[in-house]
Structures are given as structure tokens and as C-alpha cells.
Chain A
């Protein structure tokens, strides 16, 4: 029997949690060793995921590394596997998690041990979500992630953390119950929850519409899509830096992944039926969220709204049902994972030094923090979609794909690019350029230290590499995307 590499990836962080819990001694010793353990665990996980990637068969559009065993008798099996689409999201998760841990061990002041435990548990749930090939298992990981994230926002967050944590939890919980009903209804109608079997056997048409809606509500809340997005700015603003990074870089991608895997994979007829509906919501999200982002005075809120807008591209890309659109959507998810992570880390860098997220408290940062300014401007430009960065490829491909299907939507969505340039560049102008002035005793602003440089430059280099040579992602996902497009095309 082969080594269960995916199970290892999913549950290895929990082993780290156990080791951290078992450490005894003075607070200082425990703290230091829990830092070391969590770094070690997350880095090993990343290396293992690279190994997984090296073994991955690019030509095979189906699921690989599949592990299956009976779990709840006659009902749910423990079945996991990855295909071209999900393996990148797994890689993204294993890549971002160590960065989060590195970024937070120096800046966090209280309860570091518990924080690291929460992050590691979160990692298990996130990898599990992308690997699960059983609807029940997916739901378990999808919902389970709420617990650590709720605690991360609530314990280590800013002033209004309680409100934000509750809002985040209740919103997502309310959304997901509809998915639960849909999953149960699928079970009684199809007698299986196995994703592969469900994709092969067609779900009856009259059922598809309701099931699609059930999944849609819960995924749209998590994405978040306009008008279900209001929890996101609050959660982002109050969450600690690492929490924001995980939220933006990975949690938001779960929905995009869910749309491709479930909405398109299981309910193709309903997806066609509702495509225009999704287009309308996405276009509103892009334009509205960009306009709202323009007016923000809080940097994190601005980036949060820009995330809403960028997720709008993901959904129009997915629901264009074209190869370019889907390619673009997946590319956009990964690229947004890198760019938003780096933007949130940048804001975290400023916040650690000055303890303010307000734009008006900063001006002319470039004069004292040149390296920081470089990274910040670069990330903002990548966020705008400057050619040469990965942001450009994602947006461009989704717009091409959408143009084929519905040019009005494409044109409207393209205005978002201009708006995003407006708010990003204006943010840069206000914070980075101008005369040096920082409120709140920020006279001694130190430039990036070594850890921060390593983290941010790694993200930056990846953004450029993917931007210059997008085939790194597009080629591996191509066969899986072809399969999805073919399935969707068969419906028309």
C-alpha cells in the first residue's frame, strides 16, 4: 500500500498540536518550543506538499492519490484525493501557513502558544477542505474551520473583535445550514455522497435547482459575494495579521473551489440556468466594492473590499464555463492568495510599529522605510493587475473568457480594473509618498527586518514568476479544467 500522503498532509499539523500541548515547563520554555514545533511542522508540511506536487501526474484529469476507507457505516466514506485544480490550493495553503506563523511569532504579544495551536488546527481544516472527495467530509472541514477562526479573531483581534468574531461565525454558520440540507437531500436521492460517483451519475434536473441554491447561499457567504459580504470587512479589520492573511489568502478560495467542484461539477444544468444571476451579482460586487474601497480610511478595510471585488472576477470566470474563464478564475484565486497575503502583511508591518491602520496617520513612509515602500507599491500594483504580475494574468483571462459569453458583463467587469487602479494607487500616494509624517510616536520607524524581508520577498518573487510565466499553473490545471468545460459543454 502506498504512503497515505494526503492524510499525512491533512493531519500532520494536529500532531504538532499534540506535541505543543505535551510540552511542560516554564512559560518561556513552552513558548519557545511551541514556536519551534509549529515552524517545523508547517515547513515539513510544505516540503511534503512539494513532494506531492513532484509525483503529480499532469496528464491525468481525474483524482490522484485517492485514499478511501469506510467511516460511518453505509453512509460516509473517508475519501480524499486531489486533481489539477485542488493541488494548487493545497500548495497555496501549505505555503501561506508557515508564512503566517513566521509573521506572527514576533508581532504577537499574548498567548502565543494558543495562537499557534489555532493556526495549526486551521491548517488541517483548510487542507482537508481541498482534499475531501465526500460531501459530508467536505462539510465537516468547511464548518470545522469556523471554530479556530472564531477564536483567532476573538482572542487576538482589535477593539471590536467580539462583534466581528460573532458576525463572522453567525453569518457563515447561517449560510452553511442550507448546504447541509442540500447535502442530506442529495444523499436521500442519490444514495451516495461520493463526489466521483455523483459526478458520473446525473442528479435529476428538478432537484438540481434547489440543491444549487443551497450550495450557492453557503458558498456565496463564504466567498463573499455581494450582498453577503458585510462580514468580511469587519472580520478582516479586527483579525490579527495572520488571521487576515489566512482569511484572504485561503478561506475565500474555498468558495471559489466549491463553485467549480460542486456547482459546476454536480449541478451543471442549474449552473447554466443561474449563470446570469451570478454574473449580475459579481458585476455589482466588482463595481460596488471597488467604489466602497475608494472611500475607506482604514487600510485593512480597503484591502478587504478589494478582495470582494477580486473575488467577483473569480465568479464571473467560473460561470463563463469557458476554458479561459476557468483558467483565469483558478489563476486569479492563487494570485490573489499571494497578493492579498502580501498586502495584509504590509499593513501588519505598519501596524506593529505605529499601532494604527488609518491611512491618515501615515505619509511619506518611503523616506524612512524604502524596502517596505518597494514591497508595498509592488503589491498594490500587482493588486491592480499590472502586466508582468500574476494579478494581470488572472484578470485578463477571466475577462477574455467572459467576453466570449457575454460582452456586456465583460465590459462592466473591466471597469473594475480602472477602479482598482484608482484606489490602490491613491492608497500608495497617501501612505508611501509625500512628506514624512507619522502620527502616534512613530518617529523611529524601522525598516523591514530580516524575517519580514524574507516573507515579503518570497511572495513578491512568486507573484512575478507566475506573472511572467503563467504556464507554471495553467499547464497543470489544464486537463482538469478541460474535463469541467467538457462536462458543462455537454449540457448545452
Chain B
């Protein structure tokens, strides 16, 4: 039971907060702080149980270092999302008390997804988090774009859930079980029907992590949703879906590696390339970040496709660095406000270097890191992936990846160009929110000084990934 504390705490606290919120008028002022403290405490709880490895509920729910690692990452994403979105929500007058509670419930869904060892549990977790995400996307009811984003996300998300569920039913039909380890036992002989199930399920997950060609929703949803929600979208659901994908590919489908490797490589190449090329024409920062995250997902998928302990370690490191880069960039985007209006175009960044040197330098460091320039953390993230790819001698994947990194560098450099080279515009409001300041500086410091001690993180992830298969 001890191992279930995080899930239970989230569940019970979200219910009790919901009830309190209904009866108390002034509650939404403090609920954010309560939840931030709660999340920070949960990080410690997960951390102290890090090494535990158990399966619960008739082998359908596992808690192991991998899931604990991913849960910590999800918690960090949610925590920082809450930290940087306080003022934003108040300014836009959408600071309802339901908002953080939905966020919490979605986190619960992700936890279930991460720990699932069974197709049904996996699907339940996925649906729980997705339903919360649909609501979150549409939470700014006064904005037409936000409603559109929510609806679009809901329609396409349901379609992909349908595909996924169909895949699950196919797998169940041919193996007679929904349990991952049971499927793995049956799936030894080359049965073509299981491959159908695999393809459908992969499509469903690819949609959730917005891998090309299932990415269509993501730029629109990123742009339309309130920025605080976009921040959340960019990090937590991807971490959870990738965790589920790692498990799904390496436990029930471990014997089909030659089959799914091709699929994942195709997804990866398409994502890397489209993420690099399509972002060039964007003028909206949030859309740009959508394409940027598509590109990053491409690199992560490249690591998944290799599926050696080395490459899975690289994927985990990549996820950590990816999360911190996004925290920083979105903290920057959310500090661009003047007279209650939030600006989100690239051209609005001009003059940052003059009026807000701190934000400018942080955003520059983060952008160079997103582009993968050494000695920043983003370079190491990509480097580990390429290290793993070349070990398996899949040179074409490395070449495509590196070429798209170069193309992507172009649009990242454009951001820096606007910050530093263009004529200055009016200044933005000086930021008095400590949450944003702290998140921005913290993430920048992590990205900038990662190179001093890369080994610690490597040791942790290596100890996790050597037990995956």
C-alpha cells in the first residue's frame, strides 16, 4: 500500500479540494498554493520509494524505478506549470478553482498510464488524462480560439482513442489476455494479426505524443489553449505517453522488435523533419513551440526505435532536459504581458534584450539549447541519442536527425535574432511574480550547467534501463 501513496493522495486530495471549493468562496486564492505544496511533497514521496519494485492488483499495476522516474518527471512538469501560471490565470480571469483540480486529476491519469501493466488499465489512465486535457484546452470560455482548440482536441483525441481501443481489442482477441506479460508469452510465434493490433495501438499513442503524421492537432491546440495549459501539454502528457510506449514496446511486443522498429523509425524521421521544416514559417511562439516539440518527439522516437539499454537511457535523459527547456521557454512567454494583454508572437520578443536583459539571456540560452548547441544541455540530449543510433550502425537515421537539427537551428536562431538584433519595442511589465522568475532562472541554470556533471543523471537512468527488458 505504501507504494500507492502518491496516487491515493492525488485522488483523495482532488476530491476533497473539489468539495471544499464548492462551498468556499475565497478558496480559489489559496488552492494553487495548497496544490503546489502537495506536489512538492509528492516528489519527495516518490523519490524515497524510488528503488521499490512491486506489482499490484493481480499483476496489472507495476511500480518500479522506471515508473517512479517518469512520475517524478510528470510531477516536476505539473509543479512548474502551476508555479508559472498563477498570474496568467488571474489576468485572464480564468482562475477558477476547478482548474488546478482538473490538472491534478489529469496527473492521476498519467500516473495510471505510466504504471499500467495491462491494456485495460493503460486505456483507463489514458482516457482519464485525455478527458481532463480536453477540458483544460477549452477552459478559457471567453475565447473562441480556446473553445475551438478544446473541441478540435476532443474530436481528434476521441478518434485516436478509438483506434487505440480497437487495437487493444484485436490484441485481446488473438491472445486471450490483456496482461502485458501474458501477451508477451503468446506473442512469440509470428502471428500477423498481432501486428494489426500493434499498428493501431501505435497510432493511438503517436497521436498523444503528436508524432507525424498524427500531429495535425497540436499546433492549433497549442495556439488556442491558454498558455498555462499549453505549457502543461508540452510536457506532462508527452512524458506519460512515452513512458507507456517504452513499456508497451519492450514488454508485450519485445519479440516483434524488427516489426515495430521500422514503424517507429518512420514516425521518428517524419517528426524530426516536419518539426524542423514546418516551424520555419511560423510567427506565433506557441505554434513554433508545437513544431519544436514535434521535432523533439522525433528524436525521442529515434531513441525508442533503437531499444537498447543505451538508447532508452538516452530517451530518459532527453525527456528530463526537454522538460526543463520547456519550463524555461514557457516561463518567458508568460512574462510578455503589458496592460493585461499577453503577447505571443515572435516579433513581440524584439527589445527584450534592452528592457529585460535577464529574460533575454535566459531565453537565448534555452533557445540555443533547444537547437542543440554545445555546451548546453540540449546538445547532450541529442548527442546521447546519436551515440545510441550509431552504435547500432543505423547511419541514415543519424544523418536525417542531424540534418533536421541544422534546419531547426535556423528557426531557433530567428528567435535570437529578434531578441538581440531587431529594433527595440515597448517594454513589458516588470515581473513581480516569483514563480515565473524562479522557474525561469532555475531551468536556465539546469540547462546551462548540466555539462558540469552529466554523470549523475546518467548513472540514475542507466540503473533504470538495464532492468526494462
* A154 and B420 contact, CB distance less than 8 A: yes
- Of all chain B residues, the one with the shortest Cβ separation from A169 is B413
- Of all chain A residues, the one with the shortest Cβ separation from B387 is A184
Q: Nearest Cβ in chain A — how far from B325, in angstroms?
A: 16
Q: Nearest Cβ in chain A — how far from B259, in angstroms?
A: 26
Which stretch in A140-148, A243-251, A358-366, A396-404 binds the other chain?
A140-148
Known A147-B373, A170-B406; contact A181-B421, beta-carbon cutoff 8 A? no
* B390 and A185 contact, CB distance less than 8 A: yes
B458 within 8 A of A: yes
B466 within 8 A of A: no
B410 within 8 A of A: yes
- Give B73-113 as 1s and 0s: 1 = Cβ < 8 Å from A's Cβ atoms: 00000000000000000000000000000000000000000
Known A170-B410, A173-B409, A177-B403; contact A72-B421, beta-carbon cutoff 8 A? no
A-contacting residues, B256-306, CB 8 Å:
none
A-side contacts of B399, CB under 8 Å: 181
A161 partner, pick from B386, B387, B416, B421, beta carbons under 8 A: B421
A162 within 8 A of B: yes
* B410 and A166 contact, CB distance less than 8 A: yes
B-side contacts of A147, CB under 8 Å: 368, 373
A-side contacts of B386, CB under 8 Å: 180-181, 184
- Give B363-391 as 1s and 0s: 1 = Cβ < 8 Å from A's Cβ atoms: 00000100001110001000100110011
Report how far A166 CA is from B420 CA in the complex, Å. Answer: 13
A166 partner, pick from B368, B395, B413, B451, beta carbons under 8 A: B413
Q: Nearest Cβ in chain B — how far from A177, in angstroms?
A: 4
A226 within 8 A of B: no
- Give A191-227 as 1s and 0s: 1 = Cβ < 8 Å from B's Cβ atoms: 0000000000000000000000000000000000000
A140 partner, pick from B374, B403, B416, B458, beta carbons under 8 A: B374
B: interface residue count bin: 20 to 34
Q: Nearest Cβ in chain B — how far from A118, in angstroms?
A: 11
A228 within 8 A of B: no
Report how far A155 CA is from B352 CA in the complex, Å. Answer: 13
A-side contacts of B455, CB under 8 Å: 70-73
* B417 and A162 contact, CB distance less than 8 A: yes
Known A151-B420, A177-B402; contact A170-B409, beta-carbon cutoff 8 A? yes
* B458 and A72 contact, CB distance less than 8 A: yes
B-side contacts of A161, CB under 8 Å: 421
Report how far A185 CA is from B383 CA in the complex, Å. Answer: 12
Report how far A129 CA is from B409 CA in the complex, Å. Answer: 23
A-side contacts of B421, CB under 8 Å: 154-155, 161-162, 165
- Give B431-459 as 1s and 0s: 1 = Cβ < 8 Å from A's Cβ atoms: 00000000000000000000100110011
A150 within 8 A of B: yes
A188 within 8 A of B: yes
- Of all chain A residues, the one with the shortest Cβ separation from B391 is A188
Known A72-B455, A166-B410; contact A188-B417, beta-carbon cutoff 8 A? no
- Give A111-154 as 1s and 0s: 1 = Cβ < 8 Å from B's Cβ atoms: 00000000000000000000000000001100110110011001
A187 within 8 A of B: yes
A-side contacts of B242, CB under 8 Å: none
* A144 and B387 contact, CB distance less than 8 A: no
Report how far A97 CA is from B391 CA in the complex, Å. Answer: 40
B42 within 8 A of A: no
B241 within 8 A of A: no
B417 partner, pick from A71, A72, A166, A173, beta carbons under 8 A: A166
Binding site for B on A (CB under 8 A): 70-73, 139-140, 143-144, 146-147, 150-151, 154-155, 161-162, 165-166, 169-170, 173-174, 177, 180-181, 184-185, 187-188
Question: 15 pairs across A/B with beta carbons < 8 Å?
Answer: A143-B379, A147-B368, A154-B416, A154-B417, A155-B421, A162-B417, A166-B413, A169-B409, A170-B406, A173-B409, A177-B405, A180-B386, A184-B386, A184-B390, A188-B390
